Structure 1
Amino acid sequence: MKIAVLMGGTSAEREVSLASGQGIVKALRERGHEVWTVDTARGFVPPEREADLLPEGVHAAPPGDLEGALDPIQLADVEQIRAADVAFLALHGGAGEDGTIQALLDLMGVRYTGSGPLGSGIAMDKDVSKRLFRDAQVPTLPWRVARAPDFRYDPDTIEDLIGFPCIVKPSKQGSSVGITVVGESDQLASAVEEARKYDSEVMIERYAKGRELTVGILGDQALPPVEIRPKKGIYDYHSKYTPGMTEYFCPAPLEEEVVAQMQAYALRAFRVLKLRGYARIDFILAREQLFCLEANTLPGMTATSLLPKAAAAMGIDYPELCERIVRLAGG
């Protein structure tokens, strides 16, 4: 099969995407496929230049703006995408995960992995996602959103409905970029200022201290949950991508009833957001109560990422996982 692996892009998660993409390229070539590398910010990457994409690994802070990047519409002219049987989307955040590139591929008639434009856009918007979770009786934490241009919010409402501490984060961003835990009301303004660097909407959400968990979905199956234990603070970009900062346990040491309930919530969230193929649904278990945080339509796919860990617990190795995701491709 001819497969174009789309990676990189211009979001704050570019380096994470490049790491995912390179792992996928290697795995699919091992499975005998003809695989092309496409950096959606630069275009087709010849095999002899692939090693230059990520020479120093993923840094512990998101990269800055990328100059001279392609506009997404220019991807329609990339021969390797047009000729592919399937486009494997190894993109995270931005146009790669918000449905923009999915819509373009639909117009081009190219099949691709993961969710379509509608599901991708819904899941990327945490505010819309949480409204749908609430309507589908998937428990989620109370929240409010401050929007551009002035990012106004009512401090009294925040204190009464959400309380302190709370979490402030971009509403449409991933990899815990721009996230702050706010302990007191006088810290709220600076946290909103930080989050607005990454998005036109900022979410202010109740902070629940508890066990951080995630459930991968592959096709119509919920995988074993993974527990995430940061050694210090919250599970932010620094904790995710700095070696040794976080411990992972899979399957998570939980009672069977909790696992079954969380997997049921994950599948319900997957369906209500109109997702397909695969995804990862994040939870927190606080005082014996599960809360759904968000859905990731294109979760990290390095060999040590959370979804591959969960698949491995089911006896599905990394190359086989990549193969299965390709087989689930729609479009």
Structure 2
Amino acid sequence: MNADELKAIKDTLENQDLTSAVGKIQDYLTKIDKVPLNIAVTGESGSGKSSFINAIRHLRDDDPGSAQTDVVECTMEPKAYPHPDYPNVTLWDLPGIGTPTFKADKYLADVEFERYDFFIIVASHHFREWLGQTNAADVFLISCHDLGLYDFNRLLHAIEKDLPNEKRHAFLLAVPTITMKILQKKKEALHTRIWMVSLLSGAVAAVPVPGLSFSVDVAILLSEIKRYYIAFHLDNKSLQKLAERSGVPVEELKAEMKYAPHIQFNAAGVVHLLSLFSRLAVLEGSAEFLFSLIPVVGSAIAAGMSFSTTYYMLNKCLKELATDANNVLMKALATAV
């Protein structure tokens, strides 16, 4: 959240009411979840554009929906490849540079460069025409078969620093979690949402409707925990890919997880999960309702309880899932070394 957006919410809380502030937070969360990020990938035929697109989308070359590889360059117009987990993030396979149809001097205009947030130019051997005019500081050595090697972290940093806040957030969550540095950045990015969604929980708790707050809290927790789970690649399919890449049996990777195996993505599963952490989750519904019946002060107490409980639970969930992801990645990297 940029300084202006943060100030707007602070001013609303101080000068208006909680409902107005919650509305601003809901608008912001919707915006960052749906903000479009368009990444253009171009280069010479056979340079590995499609493999790069697949690697960023956390797909193997033979996975359904992957960009086609090992074919003669035949792209005559940009082709979109949405990210499978973050559909607002799209990678575009552009026609090759320097072909008879797409001359270097008119290339940007021909592919409508205004629609893209940034370009990645892929080369497998050496530079030619427009590609050869790039600054050496913007050249990165990447292995699409193992993004953890060479300059991938440096490439991410170069992209991040030039993107607006919301697009930077979208890009960071979408990239594969293949280094400890990326894992830590994802954890930090996800943590910034916690106070906002907790405030939404608190606003609902102030309404004296039996069971309403607890049901909303469960829905919020379910949505956010899914977000953590996807960002850290703790699902079975992602673990299988990591096992194949690292050579570590998937059962050994799963053995490193203490928290993720308990997660079931339904209301009952979330309630069970919360009960593992705190009695607050069990007491919250009845206590909030009783407090909310007390005019003004009671509503404030109920809202505070809901905010505190949701904030605590999300912090705990994020920390534990990040620890699981860290342990899994360490196991894979240790074996690879």
* Same fold at TM > 0.5: no
TM class, shorter-length: under 0.3
Structure richer in helix, relative to its length:
2
Which of the pair has the greater relative contact order for Cα pairs under 8 Å at 6+ separation?
1
What's the TM-score once normalised by structure 1's chain length? 0.23
Give the TM-score normalised by the residue count of structure 2.
0.23
Highest Rg: 1 or 2? 2
More strand by share: 1
